């Protein structure tokens, strides 16, 4: 396998920024649609799924840069106070053994009061062209709320495409766990913000990480270890994280739909800046 594109979590703001990055890169000829493998985690599963389904980067960017006021992305406004409270609850549960911590988070996810699974599924469905797995290599990562272990879903998995995407995006305390094969799955970012390890067989790996190496998120520390592992296996790895202008555009709440436009624009500008360098490496 030659090239893999990995898309990490970052809320609705991260989706917008990633779409901007892709559009900026594609303008220089670095098309992530040409990757031999696409990997998505959390918000990144939306991006990976859309690319795998043949969505054009320019169209993905336009939807984020100029969002419709009727967009279902705004189904559940999530205030800064809500985000802070949810983050505190998650941070209380991450100490100690990682698998045990994920189990605690899983229990929290299962008992949290959230919108119905069907309502969340409708939002995810509105972002995708259908419920059939695309005819190209795509891996989406979610975490079993009971075992605390990550699971990779792909076209060979016995589950609907939309359910796999919804599971990977099921932020504990915000969206409901998704039932698949008798288990309940939550956000893949609980295991790793990117799960770049899922691209272990690739020669070149581009990681688009909206939350990057954030010191405020213990899970993002896994990205460093994953890059080391990939490089030790002979892969050439590039990690794209938000620059200063992008971080300013993000604001403090990555679940705030109002930040989508600014984040998309900042991502596009950053993508244009990086385009020549990435294109020379990618092509």
Catalytic sites, residue numbers: 42, 187
Residue 60 CA to residue 22 CA, distance in Å, equals 9
Residues 138-168 as b/e (b if ≥16 CB within 10 A, e otherwise) read: bbbbbbbbeebebbbbeeebebbbbbbbbbb
Nearest 10 degrees: Cα torsion 82, 88, 90, 93: -150
Task: Give, for 4, the enclosing helix (H) or strand (E).
Answer: strand 3-7
Q: Which two tokens stand for residue 111?
A: 């008992």
Residues 259/16, Cβ–Cβ less than 8 Å: yes
- Count Cβ neighbours within 10 Å for each residue of 220-244 and write b for 16 or more, e otherwise: bebbeebbeebeeeebebebbbbee
- How many residues belong to the chain? 283
Residue 204 has, within 13 A of its CA and on its CB side, a CA count of 14
Q: Do residues 94 and 101 touch, judged by C-beta distance below 8 A?
A: yes
Which residue shows structure tokens 């209380």? 92
């Amino acid at each position: 396998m030659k090239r893999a594109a990995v898309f990490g979590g970052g809320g609705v703001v991260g989706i917008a920024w990633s779409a901007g990055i892709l559009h900026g890169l594609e303008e220089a000829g670095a098309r992530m649609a040409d990757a031999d493998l696409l990997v998505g985690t959390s918000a990144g599963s939306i991006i990976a799924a859309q690319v795998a389904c043949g969505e054009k980067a320019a169209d993905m960017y336009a939807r984020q840069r100029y969002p419709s006021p009727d967009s279902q992305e705004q189904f559940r406004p999530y205030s800064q106070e809500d985000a802070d409270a949810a983050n505190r609850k998650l941070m209380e549960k991450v100490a100690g053994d990682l698998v045990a911590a994920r189990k605690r988070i899983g229990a929290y996810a299962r008992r949290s009061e959230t919108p119905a699974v069907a309502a969340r599924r409708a939002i995810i469905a509105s972002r995708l062209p259908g419920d059939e797995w695309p005819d190209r290599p795509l891996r989406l990562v979610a975490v079993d709320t009971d075992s605390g272990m990550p699971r990779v879903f792909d076209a060979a998995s016995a589950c609907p495409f939309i359910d796999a995407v919804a599971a990977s995006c099921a932020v504990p305390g915000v969206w409901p766990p998704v039932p698949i094969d008798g288990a309940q799955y939550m956000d893949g970012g609980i295991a790793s913000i990117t799960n770049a390890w899922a691209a272990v067989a690739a020669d070149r790996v581009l990681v688009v990480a909206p939350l990057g190496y954030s010191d405020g998120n213990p899970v993002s520390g896994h990205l460093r270890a994953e890059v080391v592992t990939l490089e030790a296996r002979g892969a050439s790895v590039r990690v794209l994280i938000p620059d200063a202008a992008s971080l300013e555009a993000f604001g403090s709440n990555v679940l705030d739909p109002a930040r989508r436009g600014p984040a998309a624009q900042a991502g596009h500008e950053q993508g244009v800046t990086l385009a020549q360098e990435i294109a020379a490496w990618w092509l």
